[in-house]
Amino acid sequence: MKTAALSSPVPAAARPATGLRGRTVLWGGLGLLVALIAIGAFLPRWLVFLLTMAASHGLVSLGIVLLMRSGVVSFGQGLVFAIGGYAGALCFNQLGITDALLLTLAGGLAAVLVALPFAPLLARYRGIFFAMLTLALSMVCYGVLVKTNSLGGSDGFNMGRATLLGQTLSDERVAYVLYGVTVAVSGVLALLARVYFDSTRGLIAQAVRENELRVEYLGGSVRQAVALNFGMAAFAGGCGGALTVMSLGHIDPNFSYWTTSGEFVFVAILAGSQSVLAVFVASTLLEVVRSFSSLYFPNTWQLSLGLFLLLMIRFLPGGIGSLWMKKK
């Protein structure tokens, strides 16, 4: 009886409701995206920069949430973050590619190319073993970057000002335009992630977290699901790295350091694995708390972040996303 129930088609009455909800989320996300870009034109420059960093870093943390849904956590997301940033900066300085969208795409693809060879190996491990292996890869990348003088060594190097669709960005417009590009790219990838979460493959990845043996018994591939999520997480992290470098105008090996990866894990835990929007809300909260804590408590701002995370775990163990996803 249970087997028959599992294999039976979804009732016709349930399918339109699911499709309507998906369309509502999609159009609502697009509307929020347009509103955020429009509001940025009226915000002070310092706040525009803060939100730009929050969006680009949130995109990297979104990759960790993708992995969390399949039951693993990457402590080495700084690897793809750094690869994406270095790829974007090198394309600008060495290849003469200056368009912001092309640099973002180059960063994402470079991160995927670096991460994919390790995906089959990492897909075999779970728990602390997966976390430590990813952390080790990130620190190996950090060591290589520090010792590579052609890439600036421990000091890194600068990159010039990006363009957009062939248009040079003036001093007055550059911050807002890069904000708009960052929010647009992050928003589109976030909507695609939401679609993936609700797709068959996305639900299989979530089932892997609950019961790997049952997924294999039903004909799914656990390793393939984890490897796929790892590749998508690498693309998101690479795009986030390229977007961050374009706003900062500088890159150095600290992009791959373990503390950087720890911040992305911090955001993922703060957001939870239920909501895509919560990732960017958590990233914005982190940037705000860090900025004001370092301003008013310059010697103990890390303590403020730690207390903030402890309070969130105590009162919202499911993450920020549980505030609205629990009702659904």
DSSP 120-151: HHHTT--HHHHHHHHHHHHHHHHHHHHH-GGG
Asked whether the predicted pLDDT for residue 15 surpasses 80, the reply is: no
Query: Residue 20's pLDDT is what?
Result: 57
Please state which of the ranges 13-17, 265-269, 316-320 shows the lowest mean pLDDT: 13-17
| Other C-beta atoms lying within 10 Å of the C-beta of residue 315 | 7
| Confidence band, pLDDT 50/70/90 cuts, at residue 4 | very low
Query: Residue 61's pLDDT is what?
Result: 92
Read off the pLDDT of residues 210-262 as tens digits, 9 standing for 90 and up.
877 788 887 778 888 888 899 999 999 999 999 999 988 899 999 988 888 88
Chain centre distance of CA 201: 19
For residue 102, give every residue at least 6 positions away whose Cβ sits within 8 Å of its Cβ, in sequence order, or none.
Answer: 91
Please state which of the ranges 9-13, 138-142, 293-297 shows the lowest mean pLDDT: 9-13
Query: Residue 53's pLDDT is what?
Result: 92
| Other C-beta atoms lying within 10 Å of the C-beta of residue 1 | 5
| Confidence band, pLDDT 50/70/90 cuts, at residue 167 | confident
Query: Residue 71's pLDDT is what?
Result: 85
Read off the pLDDT of residues 21-65 as tens digits, 9 standing for 90 and up.
667 767 777 888 888 888 888 888 888 999 999 999 999 999 999
Asked whether the predicted pLDDT for residue 19 surpasses 70, the reply is: no
Please state which of the ranges 12-21, 67-76, 177-186 shows the lowest mean pLDDT: 12-21
| Mean pLDDT over each residue of the chain, to the nearest integer | 83
Query: Residue 154's pLDDT is what?
Result: 85
Query: Residue 325's pLDDT is what?
Result: 65
Residue pair 80/44 in contact by the 8 Å Cβ criterion: no
- Write down the pTM of the prediction: 0.85
Q: Tell me which residue of 252, 239, 268, 254 sits closest to 158, measured CA to CA.
A: 252
Q: Residue-wise over 136-169: b if at least 16 C-beta within 10 A, else e?
A: ebbbebbeebbeeeebbeeebeebeebbbeeeeb
Q: Tell me which residue of 232, 221, 206, 223 sits closest to 115, measured CA to CA.
A: 232
Residue pair 78/256 in contact by the 8 Å Cβ criterion: yes
Asked whether the predicted pLDDT for residue 327 surpasses 60, the reply is: no
Read off the pLDDT of residues 75-113 as tens digits, 9 standing for 90 and up.
989 999 999 999 999 999 888 888 989 999 999 999 999
Q: Which residue has the higher pLDDT, 70 or 323?
A: 70
Query: Residue 107's pLDDT is what?
Result: 93
